[in-house]
A and B are shown apart, each in its own frame.
Chain A
Amino acid sequence: MEHSPLKVPVMVDLHKEGKTPEYLFWVGCAGAYDDRYKKVTRAFTKILLHLKVDFGILGNEERCTGDPARRAGNEMLFQMMALNNIEILNSYNVKKIITICPHCYNVFKNEYPELGGSYEVIHHTQFLRQMIEKKKITVKNNDNVNKLITYHDPCYMGRANEEYECAREIIRELGADLAEMRRNRRSALCCGAGGGQMFKEAEKGDKEIFIERTEEALETKAGIIASSCPFCMTMLTDGLKYKNREEEIFNYDVAELLANSMGL
C-alpha cells in the first residue's frame, strides 16, 4: 500500500489559520541538518503524527539556541540567540516545548527563564514515556524483542538534569534486554562532544573520548547502542566506524527503535 506524504505543521502557517498548537516541536540544528539525525527527527515526527499530537515546528524561523556558544565562552552570542528565540517563541504564545536534543532541553529548561522565556520543556524520551504510560503507544511487532540493547546516558539529560530512567523504560517497553555499561547513569562517561567539543578537534591526549566510550559500549556485547542526543549519536557512530564494527553493531536513537516497534 502506498502511503501518502505526511505534512509537518509549521508555526507560521498555523498562526495564519489562527491556531495555537499545544506543543512546539523544537527540531534543533542537528535534527534539521545532520543526515543521520534527520532520520531521528523523521521517526519522532511520525510518532507525533501517528498519535495526532497537536504540535507545530518553527521551520525556517528556528535558530540555534546558543548553547554551544555559551559553553564555549561566548556569552554575548548566546544571549543574542536566546533573546531572539524567546521573542519568536513568545510571539507564537508557546507554552510547551518538545525537543530531541538534550542540549536544547537544558538551555530551554534552565537558562532561558532568566532571560524571559519560561516554558514547560519536555525531552522526546520523556514525552514518549508519558505516551507509553497513558497507553497511547503500543508496541506492534517483534522488531526489538529480546535484542540486547545498551543505553548511553547523554550528560545533559543525566547528570545535568537527573533524567536517567525515561529512555531505559522505553527500551524495556520494546521487549528488549537492557545491558548496562560499566559507567552508567550518574557515572556515565561523556561521549566527548559537549561544551563545544563537537565543533573542534580534541586537545592532545592518549585517546579520543568517543573511542573510550564506544569500547565500553562494545564490552556489553549489545547489538544496539541506544542514545537520545544528536551529538552522542555522531560520536558513537564515529566510534563504531573507528572500531570497524559499524556493519554489525548499530547506533539508534530511542525514538527510532520505538517507531520501528510501532511499525511506523
Chain B
Amino acid sequence: MLEQIIFILAFISALGLFIFRLYRIYRYIRTARPLKFKFRSKRITRILKLAIAQSKIFNNPLVGILHAFIFWGFIIINIEMLEIVIDGVFGTHRSMAFLGGIYPLLLSVFEVFAVAVIIACVIFLFRRNVIKLKRFWNKEMTTWPRTDANIILIIEILLMCSILTVNAADSVLASRDHPHYPDVGKFLITGLIQPLFSGMTDSSLVFLERFAWWFHIIGVLIFMNYITFSKHLHIFFSFFNIYFSRFEPSGKMMNMPSVTNEVKLMLNPSAEAPPSSTEAPAGLFGAKDIRDLYWKNLLDAFSCAECGRCTAACPANITGKKLSPRKIIMDLRDRVEEIGSKLLKQEKNFDDGNDLLSRINTEELWACTTCNACIEECPVKIDPLAVILELRRYLVLEKGLAPGQLNAMFANIENNGAPWQYSAEDRLLWTENLSFKSK
C-alpha cells in the first residue's frame, strides 16, 4: 500500500511538473509575433517522412539506423510504461500478462529494442567523446551542451539496463515458482542472460527486481522533466516544428508589409495613407530581441537538438568565420529562457540592458552568405537564416549599422540603379559589335 501511495504521488507530481513546464514553453512561444499558417495534408506527409521515417538523418545510413533505433525504441518501449503505471498504481504485477501468448512476444520485441538503444547510445558516446566528431566540439559546444548530450545518453543506457534487469530477475523468480512472480513466458534477451542471476537467492532477486523497477520508473519521471531544460526536448518539439515548417522555396525571404506602406507613400506622397497605418505601430523593423521575432523562430529554438549539421555545412563556419547557425539558434533559446518570466508578465517595455544582439555578434551576422545550406541540412526543419536576416534588418533599418562596403553598395543601387558604380546609360554597351562568331 505504501509503495502504491509513493508511486502515485511521484507519478502525479512529475507529470504535473512536466506539463506545467511544457505549457510555460508554449506560452513563451506565443509571446512572439504572430504568423499565419494554413493546414495542408502535405504537413502530415512531411511529419511521416522527416519525423517518423527520419529521412534526413538517414543521409548518413549508419547514423540513421542508430538514431532510428533510439527513436523507435523510445516509442515502442513507452508502450511498456503503460503496464508499469498500472502496476504501480494498483500494486499489481505484470498486469498486461492477460494478453497471453502475445505478451512474451511483445516483451521480447521491447527487449530487442532496449539492447539496440544501449548499443546506439554507447556508439554515440564514443563518437562524441573518443572520436570527437568536429561538429560536437565547435566553440558553442561549451561544457554544458556537451555534458547535456552525455547525460542523456547515459540515462538512456541506465533506463534500458534497469528494464532488462527487471525482466531477468522476474523470470528467474518465475522459474522457481515464486508466488508473486507468475510464469508469463520466456523473453528473448533476458532469457539469454538469466544464468547470470541464477546463483542469487530469492530474497536478493526480489530486492533486485524491486530496486530496478523503481530505478526505472523514477528515472523516467526525472528524465521526463530534465529534458524540458535540455536539447533532448527535440523529441517532442521537432514534430510540431516539422508540422509548421514552410513549403515555399527556401530562397523566399519574408516580406515586410509595413515597409511596403512606407515605400508606397514615399513614391507617391499624394496617395492616402493605407488604413493599416491607423493601427497600433508594427514595432521595430527587423528584430533585436525575442519579442521582435515570429513564433516559428522560437519554436525552432526549442526544437534544436544541437546536432550541428547546420554548422558543419555552413560555408562561413567551414572557413573559420565566427558564424555558426547552431549558435544562433542556441542563443535564441537561452535568451528566451533568460527573459521568459518577464515576457509572460506582459512587461512589453522591460529593459534588462540586454537583447539577442548582446549574445549574437554582428560579425557572425555579416558572415552569412544566405546559401540555405543550414536549412537544407536540418533534420527537423529549423531555419537559422530567418533569424539572421531579421537581425540584419534591425541593424540596417533601425541602427544604420551595415558594414561600410555594404553601405556603398546601397548608395550605388540608390543612385545608379546597380550595386556597382556604373551609369544606367551604359547598360547597353555589351550589345555593341555583337555578331555570330564574335566573342
Contact = CB atoms under 8 A, between A and B. Distances in A.
A204 B406 CA distance: 16
Interface of A: 3-8, 10, 27, 29, 31-33, 38-39, 41-42, 45-46, 50, 59-60, 62-64, 66, 68-77, 79-81, 83-84, 106, 109-111, 114-115, 155-156, 159-162, 186-187, 189-190, 192-209, 212-213, 263-264
Contact of A190 (B259, B371, B425): B371
B203 interface: no
Contacts of A3: 435-438
Nearest to A199: B409
Contact of B251 (A161, A198, A209): A161
A7 B249 CA distance: 37
Interface of B: 248-253, 255-256, 259-260, 262-264, 266-267, 285-286, 313, 315-316, 318-323, 363, 366-373, 375-377, 389, 392-397, 402-403, 405-406, 408-410, 413-414, 417-420, 422, 424-431, 433-439
Nearest to B424: A60
Contact of A197 (B263, B320, B369, B424): B369
30 contacts: A3-B437, A5-B435, A27-B427, A27-B430, A29-B418, A32-B422, A32-B428, A32-B430, A42-B434, A50-B436, A60-B424, A64-B418, A73-B286, A81-B417, A106-B251, A106-B252, A110-B249, A114-B255, A115-B260, A193-B369, A196-B409, A199-B409, A200-B366, A200-B409, A202-B367, A203-B363, A205-B367, A206-B320, A212-B319, A264-B437
B397 A5 contact: no
Contacts of B267: 80, 83-84
Q: Which of A75, A194, A197, A205 has the most CB of B within 10 A?
A: A75
Nearest to B260: A79
A68 B409 contact: yes
A68 B410 CA distance: 8
A104 B349 CA distance: 40
Q: Which of B377, B413, B422, B429 has the most CB of A within 10 A?
A: B413
Across the A-B interface, the 4 shortest Cβ-Cβ residue pairs: A160-B251, A206-B320, A195-B370, A73-B396
A233 to B, nearest CB: 15
Nearest to A156: B251
Contacts of A41: 430
Contacts of B367: 202-203, 205
